[in-house]
């Protein structure tokens, strides 16, 4: 391993506010184009920004969850550049005094705890959206997203592999979901990330030329893009063509599976930052920070540790649950309703995840703690078999139904009545003399076949324990 990869990440997350950062327009996704706009967010002459107080609170929550320090006095600045998605031709952002700085986050990569320092988190407004038409010579602009509040998080260049970058971004997403600062919907652009990557010889102190990669739309894509770029750089160094690596922005083309230089767009960037004169400085009181700290919920890492030791569960499986806030909530609440932790975990890891992956995984989970707890109870009570339970679960997932109603409606209640079962067992033994003979000859697995026949006769509703006992009694 001659080469060492150095990666730094920038994450943009849209904050979960009702209204935009500087005006009263809605932040709702998917509205008709340009309908969530007003003089302020389309930059009409004379209109002035007024800061949304919730933006500060959400940013602080995010930062405190990531162990950041607070700049009790900070300010907004103007970042000046022309682009049609930026209505005032300046973005209101933060330059030398970000609201939060010097944080860190810890996560596990291949069983080793990795700590990555966070350089800063600052506030800014989102830009509008450009839609480039395929067949017409136009670009269409929709300013609905313009002015939606964002936090930008910048790490130190401390990630050492695309895999680490992947784990890092996943961790941040989960934390943001836990503290409810962003809905982190990547498909709606409410969580986006760029990465800076360079490669150097192991042991070398200074950093080599870095390349910025944009347009990575999912965690997996990001990892792929970084692996591709890592390989490209290493190859160039190995062929003695390191000078071909220039500081530039490259766009990830996921269809072609490669990064493409965006040099055409690169101009001399000189953002001419200066303090935003239309806004006063932001002052944060200590009491505000103290009370927010108290509101920070148990974070994924702590939760994982606690749940594992409390219920003695499989770490890998529990990790999958903890990474998704919705699953975690379902898990904990179902337990509160009296279900056993290992059972709940099995349902979530097995059936629920499988069903979720078949559809749109980002959709709301149709299973509630109440319905899942009921289902588990029905199985434990012997009302239905585990196999029937799976069918019921599937229907619960599709119809958001209640297990009791589904069982009743479909007449799935287990046959527990010994008299009735005895008749069926008798019939099966009568009809399958060969298997009975096999069993009697010592091939004990033949009982499985007979059991299957009992189930077939009862359409799966026979209580397996009772049926098995009866079989064993009847077969000498």
Residues 175-214 that bind another protein (CB under 8 A): none
Minimal distance in Å, beta carbon 273 to another protein?
8
Site for another protein in 95-154 (CB under 8 A): 96-97, 130-133, 136-143
* Bridge partner residues of 227 (DSSP): none
Site for another protein in 16-55 (CB under 8 A): 17-19, 24-26, 32-39, 42-55
* Bridge partner residues of 240 (DSSP): none
Quick check: 4 binds another protein (CB under 8 A)? no
Segment interacting with another protein (CB under 8 A) among 151-159, 267-275, 309-317, 437-445:
267-275
Segment interacting with another protein (CB under 8 A) among 201-209, 272-280, 403-411, 416-424:
272-280
- Count other Cβ atoms within 10 Å, centred on residue 253: 13
CB nearer to another protein: give 75 or 228.
75
Structure-token pair, residue 29: 């996704």
What is the DSSP secondary structure assignment for residue 348, as one 8-state letter? I
DSSP E strands in 217-304: the ranges are 248-253, 258-261, 274-275, 282-283
Quick check: 254 binds another protein (CB under 8 A)? no
Quick check: 444 binds another protein (CB under 8 A)? no
Minimal distance in Å, beta carbon 63 to another protein?
13
Tell me the C-alpha to C-alpha distance, in Å, between residue 443 and each of 112, 326, 381, 437.
Answer: 50, 48, 32, 9
Binding footprint of another protein, residue count (CB under 8 A): 78
Rounded Cα distance between 92 and 51, Å, is 11
Find, among 38, 49, 138, the residue nearest to 90 by Cα: 49
Segment interacting with another protein (CB under 8 A) among 184-192, 196-204, 274-282, 413-421:
274-282
Binds another protein (CB under 8 A): choice among 109, 236, 262, 299: 262
- Residue where the block lists tokens 């005006």: 23
Asked whether the beta carbons of 189 and 214 are under 8 A apart, the reply is no
- Residue where the block lists tokens 């297990």: 403
CB nearer to another protein: give 247 or 448.
247
Segment interacting with another protein (CB under 8 A) among 78-86, 233-241, 319-327, 434-442:
78-86
What is the DSSP secondary structure assignment for residue 19, as one 8-state letter? B
Structure-token pair, residue 462: 């026979």
Quick check: 263 binds another protein (CB under 8 A)? no
136 SS3 class: coil
Rounded Cα distance between 248 and 210, Å, is 8
* Bridge partner residues of 283 (DSSP): 73
CB nearer to another protein: give 95 or 104.
95
Q: What x-and-dash track marks residues 233-252 binding another protein by CB under 8 A?
A: ------------------x-
Quick check: 402 binds another protein (CB under 8 A)? no
Binds another protein (CB under 8 A): choice among 10, 12, 80, 366: 80
Segment interacting with another protein (CB under 8 A) among 85-93, 106-114, 435-443, 444-452:
85-93
Minimal distance in Å, beta carbon 14 to another protein?
14
Rounded Cα distance between 238 and 149, Å, is 44
Segment interacting with another protein (CB under 8 A) among 81-89, 183-191, 324-332, 390-398:
81-89
Segment interacting with another protein (CB under 8 A) among 183-191, 270-278, 388-396, 415-423:
270-278
CB nearer to another protein: give 111 or 134.
134
Minimal distance in Å, beta carbon 41 to another protein?
9
Structure-token pair, residue 426: 């008798």
Rounded Cα distance between 289 and 285, Å, is 7
Find, among 7, 61, 432, the residue nearest to 222 by Cα: 7
CB nearer to another protein: give 68 or 425.
68
Site for another protein in 280-339 (CB under 8 A): 280-283, 285-287
Dihedral angle at the C-alpha atoms of 156, 157, 163, 167, nearest 10 degrees? 0
Segment interacting with another protein (CB under 8 A) among 6-14, 71-79, 193-201, 337-345:
71-79
Rounded Cα distance between 205 and 212, Å, is 21
Minimal distance in Å, beta carbon 30 to another protein?
13
Structure-token pair, residue 151: 């936090």
Quick check: 61 binds another protein (CB under 8 A)? no
Structure-token pair, residue 197: 């990557």
DSSP E strands in 319-413: the ranges are none
Minimal distance in Å, beta carbon 93 to another protein?
13
Quick check: 382 binds another protein (CB under 8 A)? no
DSSP-derived pairing of the beta strands 274-275 and 77-80: antiparallel
CB nearer to another protein: give 260 or 473.
260
CB nearer to another protein: give 45 or 476.
45
Rounded Cα distance between 268 and 271, Å, is 9
What are the φ and ψ backbone dihedral angles of 74, each rounded to 5 degrees?
A: -140, 180
Minimal distance in Å, beta carbon 131 to another protein?
7
Segment interacting with another protein (CB under 8 A) among 104-112, 261-269, 310-318, 444-452:
261-269
């Amino acid at each position: 391993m001659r080469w060492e990869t150095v990666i730094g990440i920038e994450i943009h997350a849209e904050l979960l506010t009702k209204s935009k950062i500087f005006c009263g327009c809605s932040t709702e996704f998917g509205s008709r184009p340009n309908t969530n706009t007003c003089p302020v967010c389309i930059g009409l002459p004379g209109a002035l920004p007024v800061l949304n107080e919730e933006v500060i609170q959400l940013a602080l929550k995010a930062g405190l969850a990531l162990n950041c320090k607070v700049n009790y006095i900070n300010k907004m600045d103007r970042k000046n550049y022309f682009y049609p998605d930026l209505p005032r031709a300046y973005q209101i952002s933060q330059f030398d005094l970000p609201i939060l700085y010097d944080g860190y986050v810890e996560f596990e990569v291949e069983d080793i705890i990795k700590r990555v320092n966070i350089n800063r988190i600052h506030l800014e407004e989102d830009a509008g959206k450009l839609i480039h038409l395929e067949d017409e010579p136009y670009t269409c602009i929709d300013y609905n997203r313009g002015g939606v509040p964002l936090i930008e998080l910048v790490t130190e260049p401390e990630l050492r592999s695309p895999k680490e970058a992947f784990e890092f971004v996943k961790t941040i997403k989960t934390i943001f979901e836990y503290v409810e600062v962003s809905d982190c919907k990547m498909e709606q652009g409410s969580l986006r990330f760029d990465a800076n990557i360079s490669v150097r010889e192991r042991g070398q102190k200074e950093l080599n030329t870095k390349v910025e990669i944009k347009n990575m739309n999912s965690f997996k894509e990001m990892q792929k893009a970084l692996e591709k770029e890592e390989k490209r750089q290493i190859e160039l160094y190995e062929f003695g063509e390191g000078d071909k690596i220039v500081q530039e922005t490259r766009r990830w083309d996921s269809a072609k599976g490669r990064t493409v230089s965006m040099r055409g767009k690169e101009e001399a960037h000189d953002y001419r930052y200066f303090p935003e004169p239309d806004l006063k400085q932001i002052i944060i009181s200590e009491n505000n920070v103290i009370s927010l700290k108290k509101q920070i919920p148990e974070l994924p890492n702590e939760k994982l540790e606690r749940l594992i030791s409390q219920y003695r569960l499989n770490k890998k499986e529990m990790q999958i649950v903890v990474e998704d806030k919705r699953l975690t909530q379902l898990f904990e609440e179902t337990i509160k309703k009296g279900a056993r932790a290992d059972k709940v975990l099995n349902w979530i890891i097995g059936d629920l995840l499988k069903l979720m992956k078949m559809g749109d995984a980002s959709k709301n989970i149709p299973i509630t703690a109440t319905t899942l707890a009921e289902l588990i109870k029905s199985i434990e009570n012997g009302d239905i078999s585990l196999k029937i339970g799976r069918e019921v679960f599937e229907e619960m997932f599709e119809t958001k139904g209640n297990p009791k109603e589904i069982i009743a409606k479909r007449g799935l209640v287990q046959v527990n009545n010994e008299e009735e079962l005895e008749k069926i067992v008798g019939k099966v033994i009568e009809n399958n003399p060969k298997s009975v003979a096999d069993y009697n000859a010592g091939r004990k697995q033949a009982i499985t076949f007979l059991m299957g026949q009992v189930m077939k006769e009862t359409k799966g509703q026979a209580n397996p324990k009772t049926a098995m006992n009866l079989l064993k009694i009847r077969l000498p």
